[in-house]
């Protein structure tokens, strides 16, 4: 379930922001694969190095692992 704090922060979102979130969440769970978007992200070199090494040891592509973590975090409040 969503925390009270999270729900309180959501009250400040515009109607468009709420719609975008719901639509993106719906699409994330659909069977249709959406296109990827190239982003630029600054990460401390030591954190990225350790993350890449751990992913390699587990036989995972590190970028795939980042996307998996992002997806799990978005779903986490839905219990």
Q: Tell me which long-range contacts 70-74 makes (C-beta under 8 A, separation of at least 24).
A: 71/28, 74/25, 74/28
Given a cut of 90, is residue 48 above it in pLDDT?
Answer: yes
pTM of the model: 0.63
Interval 5-33 mean pLDDT: 81
Q: How far apart are CA 28 and CA 73, in angstroms?
A: 13
Are 77 and 3 contacting, i.e. CB atoms less than 8 angstroms apart? yes
| Enclosing domain of residue 63 | 4-78
pLDDT higher than 90, residue 71: no
Where does the pLDDT of residue 45 fall: very low under 50, low under 70, confident under 90, or very high at 90 and above? Answer: very high
Is the pLDDT at 61 greater than 80, yes or no?
Answer: yes
**pLDDT number for residue 34:** 77
When divided into structural domains, the chain yields a total of 1
């Amino acid at each position: 379930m969503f925390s009270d704090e999270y729900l309180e922060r959501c009250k400040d979102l515009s109607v468009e922001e709420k719609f975008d979130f719901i639509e993106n969440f719906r699409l994330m769970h659909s069977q249709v694969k959406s296109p990827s978007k190239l982003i630029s992200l600054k990460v401390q070199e030591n954190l990225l190095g350790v993350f890449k090494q751990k992913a390699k040891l587990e036989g995972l592509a590190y970028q795939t692992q980042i996307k998996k973590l992002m997806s799990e975090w978005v779903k986490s409040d839905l219990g």
